[in-house]
């Protein structure tokens, strides 16, 4: 029977809960969390970590995915960024959008040149349609 060693290096043999009908070892939640914590702090790739701790990669990848989805402690997914702008930099001037008002009150605002071709095609399509 195989035992899993404490990933923190304390030397305590981890307890083996049981194995399923396919012979897979079932690991306790606290053990799994300890392994995931050790992985996050190790800086290793998941494959290297699995080889070092005698884990099956697909199982470990599932643990990592579940933790990232919220099954475990929340992991930060953003970082604060500060940008220092020179004092002489002025904000860009944004021109007023071109506004097209249709007879039925529909309003089309065109904010940039890239939208002109789209607006022209839309107006052509609308003018070719027959009213009900």
Its domain, for residue 47, covers 18-71
Residue 116 in any domain: the answer is yes
> What confidence score (pLDDT) does residue 2 get?
41
> What confidence score (pLDDT) does residue 36 get?
92
Residue 63 in any domain: the answer is yes
Residue 59 in any domain: the answer is yes
Residue 11 in any domain: the answer is no
Residue 85 in any domain: the answer is no
Weakly modelled stretches of the chain, pLDDT under 70: 1-18, 71-79, 85-94, 129-132
The structural domain count of the chain equals 2
In whole angstroms, what is the distance from residue 27 CA to residue 73 CA? 18
- pTM to 2 decimal places: 0.40
> What confidence score (pLDDT) does residue 115 get?
83
- Same domain, residue pair 66 and 28: yes
Last residue of a domain, one of 71, 89, 109: 71
In whole angstroms, what is the distance from residue 84 CA to residue 2 CA? 56
> What confidence score (pLDDT) does residue 1 get?
37
Compute, in degrees rounded to 10, the torsion defined by CA atoms 93, 99, 105, 106: -90
Residue 45 in any domain: the answer is yes
Residue 5 in any domain: the answer is no
């Amino acid at each position: 029977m195989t035992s899993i060693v404490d990933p923190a290096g304390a030397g305590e043999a981890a307890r083996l809960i049981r194995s399923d009908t396919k012979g897979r070892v079932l690991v306790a939640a606290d053990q799994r969390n300890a392994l995931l914590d050790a992985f996050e702090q190790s800086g290793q790739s998941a494959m290297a970590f699995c080889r070092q701790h005698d884990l099956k990669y697909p199982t470990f990848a599932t643990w990592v995915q579940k933790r990232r989805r919220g099954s475990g402690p929340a992991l930060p997914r953003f970082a604060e960024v500060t940008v220092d702008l020179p004092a002489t930099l002025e904000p860009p001037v944004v021109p007023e959008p071109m506004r097209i008002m249709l007879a039925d009150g529909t309003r089309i605002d065109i904010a940039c040149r890239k939208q002109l071709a789209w607006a022209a095609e839309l107006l052509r399509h609308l003018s070719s349609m027959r009213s009900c």
